[in-house]
Chain A
Amino acid sequence: MRMPVPDERIIRERGTLIARLQAAVPGGVVVDETSMRPFETDALTAYRQMPLVVVLPASTDEVAAALRVCRAMGVKVVPRGAGTGLSGGALPLADGVLLVLSRLNRILEIDYDNRAVRVQPGVTNLAISQAVAGRGFYYAPDPSSQIACSIGGNVAENSGGVHCLKYGVTANNLLGVEFVTIDGEVIRLGGKHLDPEGYDLLGVLTGSEGLLGVVTEVTVRILQKPETARAVLLGFPSVEAGGATVAAVIAAGIIPGGMEMMDNAALNAAEDFVQAGYPRDVASLLIVELDGPAAEVDHLITRVEAIARGHGASYCRVSASEEERLAFWAGRKAAFPAVGRISPDYVCMDGTIPRRTLPAVLTRMEALGREYRLRVANVFHAGDGNLHPLILFDANDADEFDRAEKLGAAILRLCVEVGGVLTGEHGVGIEKRDLMTDQFGAEDLAQQMRLKCAFDPDGLLNPGKVFPTLHRCAELGRMVVQGGRLPFPDIPRF
């Protein structure tokens, strides 16, 4: 993985930079190696890099002041929330400032009547739901990392969770943000009202992986918890039958609260780890959660069961209590660490595919696993076609590591080939950066980079992430105008 070549001039000026940052963010500048060490990687731990300086601002003003220093000195900036990102978005740069938002961790306002919560970006995802749980509310997007990940990171990655099939991802639950541009200007978009005015800059900022601005405040909508929720475990003799059931449930007009799938390897790892009560002998396991009034849940569970039986389900168990429902989910939510126990290392892929291609993709993925001589355990957000193949390997074996990376790339290319995309929720970061050209043409990428130029003309915010090659904005803006004559008579005119 090639990162932008560090700028020696910046590294030489480290002393001046530190002094100026200390003036901008008193008490929030970390420069010694030991204290910086924990920041050298995010959850894509195969890649590590010590930053030049770590800055921990405690207010929007301090964020703005730090960015003005960086802009003035031409220093690169990598924003970081909680560092749980799986695509290396928060990987530091040797000649860059790592701007850590974790000290901005206050809940600023809870407004039940307007169903909105305003928080600082370092607040964890789960803390929002916990803060409003007393009144029966919650914040819907629930990434499995929700105890740790920050809401600012969620905005930057447009994170999803197991309930986003019905309730949407971050973008669909976000009402407003405050962010700071690389120029140190503070801009607010949206608020407690719906739909910001003008261009949907809130939409593009969401999922922009720290490349467009630094998010310093977030307003989300909260929802009332459904009256009841029950989950069904459905086991199938083949992965295909599970996949076909998923498609059939959706085709029947049912949008479950969640619809997750695990293959035999993943479900056994989870069962070993948390004893969720999963059947060990099925080829694939679906967890389908229905929520709403009890009458609706009962009705839909019957329909889902019937659909599953029609597709050859060999196992069916409906949660009889809240404890049991949570136990079903505990296995799924612990699937990554569970797989982590059966292999020294694993890497989690994140492609999305059209649902109907699920059986074919699984078959081809198995063949790819054999080709690269590596085990793959599969966990999916099946309802929306978002795959999480976990590739098991040993990082101490250089050859295995190399094969794991190649297998990962092959799986993602397969997703694109069948009409899907490289990443459904974890972001491009550095991990999928060089695969962007498999999904997008040169002009598609150029127009995305031009958008970045509108926000960050010198390319100082998180360079080396998302885009495979860096272009100067002047170069991207150049126009080669052909023609100049009215295209007549080929185009119908009247």
Chain B
Amino acid sequence: MTTLAPETESQLIEAMRWAVAAEQPLELLGRGSKRGFGRPVQAAHTLDLSRLSGIVSYEPEELLLVVKPGTMLADLSAALAERRQMLAFDPPDLSPLWGGAAGAGTVGGLVSAGLSGPRRLKAGAVRDHVLGISAVSGRGDLFRAGGKVVKNVTGYDLPKLLTGALGTLGALTEIVLKVLPAPEVTRTLVLAGIDGAAAHQAMADALGSPAELAAAAWVPAGLPWPGLPPRTPCVLLRLEGVAVSVEARLGHLGRLLEGRAATAVLEAEDSARLWAELRDAAPLARQPERAVWKLSVPPMQGMAVLDRIRTALPGSIGWLDWAGGLVWVGLPDGDARAGLVRGALPGEGHATLMRAPDGVRATTPVFQPQPEPLARLTARVKAQFDPKGVLNPGRMAAGG
């Protein structure tokens, strides 16, 4: 058991070439805050990438940031906030969900895990903001892809491929991120006491209007949320932009949804606190005994999926983000019950086991099993980047 902690790109290449030549699998880590995500890796050695860190360049007027993967996300967010900019995909901090301290994650980990927050609905996912990468493949070779401009179709979009690949296709050495201006104002319209089909329809109608929502969620009675009336299911509609615009759109939404539910408006701080709870799955972070799933489904199916799971497993808790398209569920205990959860999918979409004890994740397909032709294609892609299987073996799929 060795830990390799390269400080430079060339040291990383050397370490990788050793692993390839000796056919020694590696577990790739940033700060290890997301070790609870994916399947447990079976590797004798650790490749610690946290020392490849630092902001390489930040050009606010180009909306561009180049960063080494070991950089702490918190440091990067602070640098952006100073220039009133942000990562528009709303990166969640799920470290506490996996039992760690808040703010413990690196940018490399974030990109590799492909995690986006509530703003994903409007702004796109992590992959939509990764413009370029450099990485060392499981062949021990450094390659670059993408570029340092927002609009680029030169060559295959490998930055998207490596985003969310959980270190199974390469060890990132540099990431080019698109950043955006932070909104001047954020407010949330709360529709209180709204449930089931009515909640879905309210979100669909709001999104089908020119109100340009930044995020939309539904929370059930049962869970305590900061700033919301107790024991009341609520639809949350988040608006961002310049003050005059947010004002106008709030008015518009109010008229559109008039009479459907009691309404209230959460101002800046309250709104931010509430959405941070949703983004970081905070209620589930506070209940570590529950197995946690995240399901991506057609937005109008969210409530039915959640209901099916709650009916089959009383004591499950959950809520809807992405206007219904993202279902967070905590099961009554640490048993993942993959068959039951995946059986609740409406014939489309996928379910990811976000948290469960190591033993459970080792024996459960954490990611949605793929149909045969797609699974074979996936294996062929993996083999082209990592022919000897040295990169995080087993992290995404057993034997892969």
Interface residues of A (CB under 8 A from B): 111-116, 135-137, 157-158, 160, 164, 168-169, 171-172, 181, 185-189, 191-201, 203-204, 206-208, 212, 224-227, 247-248, 250-251, 253-255, 292-296, 299-300, 352-356, 381, 384-386, 419-428, 432, 436, 439-441, 443-448, 450-455, 466, 477, 479, 481-487, 490-494
Contacts and interface: CB of A to CB of B under 8 A. Distances in A.
A483 B140 CA distance: 11
Contact of B144 (A171, A420, A440, A452): A440
Contact of B164 (A189, A199, A253): A199
23 contacts: A113-B208, A169-B151, A192-B298, A193-B350, A198-B374, A199-B169, A199-B378, A200-B164, A200-B165, A204-B161, A207-B157, A294-B248, A353-B149, A356-B61, A356-B62, A384-B150, A421-B149, A422-B154, A444-B143, A444-B145, A451-B161, A494-B3, A494-B5
Interface string B275-318: 00000000000000000000011111000000000000000000
Contact of B153 (A207, A441, A447): A207
A259 to B, nearest CB: 12
Contacts of B59: 354, 356
A38 to B, nearest CB: 26
B14 A490 contact: yes
B161 A200 contact: yes
Interface in B173-191: 180-182, 184
A436 B155 contact: yes
Which of B204, B296, B352, B367 is the most central at the interface, judged by chain A CB atoms within 10 Å of its CB?
B296
A207 B377 CA distance: 18
B350 A197 contact: yes
Contacts of B5: 491-494
B242 interface: yes
Given A114-B298, A187-B373, A485 B384 contact: no
Contacts of B209: 224
A191 B148 CA distance: 30
Contacts of B297: 193
Contacts of B247: 295
A112 B164 contact: no
Contacts of B169: 199
Interface stretch (B70-78, B123-131, B259-267, B355-363): B123-131
Nearest to B24: A486
B177 to A, nearest CB: 15
Interface stretch (B15-23, B26-34, B91-99, B224-232): B15-23
B350 A481 contact: no
Nearest to B122: A223
Interface residues of B, number: 104
B242 A492 contact: no
Given A112-B208, A193-B297, A194-B325, 18 more contacts: A113-B204, A136-B210, A164-B151, A193-B299, A195-B116, A199-B161, A201-B378, A204-B161, A253-B181, A296-B245, A352-B149, A385-B149, A447-B143, A448-B156, A482-B21, A483-B17, A487-B17, A493-B4
Contacts of A199: 161, 164-165, 169, 378, 381-382
Contacts of A293: 210, 244-245, 248-249, 252
B322 interface: yes
Contact of A487 (B15, B121, B149, B349): B15
B242 A198 contact: no
B152 A423 contact: yes
Contacts of B155: 428, 436, 439-440, 444-445, 448, 466
A113 B18 contact: no
B374 A187 contact: yes
Contact of B22 (A253, A423, A484): A484
Contacts of A295: 244-245, 247-248
B63 interface: yes
A190 B247 CA distance: 36
Contact of B377 (A292, A426, A454): A454
A226 B248 CA distance: 13
A453 B384 contact: yes
Interface in B9-53: 11, 14-15, 17-18, 20-22, 51
Contact of B151 (A111, A253, A385, A494): A385
B18 A172 contact: no
Contacts of A487: 4, 11, 14-15, 17-18
B313 to A, nearest CB: 22
A487 B212 CA distance: 54
A194 B326 CA distance: 8
B395 interface: no
Interface string B190-224: 00000000001100100111101000000000000
Contacts of A296: 241-242, 244-245, 248
Contacts of A454: 377, 380-381, 383-384
Contact of A444 (B2, B4, B144): B144
Nearest to B168: A199
B230 to A, nearest CB: 30
A168 B61 contact: no
B180 A255 contact: yes
A181 B371 CA distance: 14
Nearest to A185: B373
B387 interface: yes
Which of A112, A135, A444 is the most central at the interface, judged by chain B CB atoms within 10 Å of its CB?
A444
Contacts of A206: 157
A422 B152 CA distance: 8
A443 B141 contact: yes
Contacts of A192: 298-299, 348
B233 interface: no
A490 B134 CA distance: 22
Which of B124, B160, B200, B204 is the most central at the interface, judged by chain A CB atoms within 10 Å of its CB?
B160
B3 to A, nearest CB: 6
Nearest to B51: A492
A354 B149 contact: yes
A187 B372 CA distance: 9
B11 A491 contact: yes
Contacts of B394: none
B274 interface: no
A121 B297 CA distance: 23
B335 interface: no
A195 B125 contact: yes
Given A160-B151, A443-B142, A492-B51, A451 B158 contact: yes
Contacts of A114: 204, 298-300
A200 B163 contact: yes
B161 A354 contact: no
Contacts of B63: 250
Contact of B349 (A191, A254, A439): A191
Contacts of B116: 195
Contact of B385 (A171, A447, A491): A447
Nearest to B241: A296
A197 B370 contact: yes
B158 A204 contact: yes
A363 to B, nearest CB: 19
A475 to B, nearest CB: 13
A325 B59 CA distance: 33
A157 B155 CA distance: 10
Contacts of A195: 114, 116, 120, 125, 296
A294 B396 CA distance: 48
B119 interface: no
Which of A251, A447, A486 is the most central at the interface, judged by chain B CB atoms within 10 Å of its CB?
A447
B109 interface: no
Given A186-B373, A200-B161, A447-B158, A421 B147 contact: yes
B149 A181 contact: no
Contact of B21 (A160, A226, A356, A481): A481
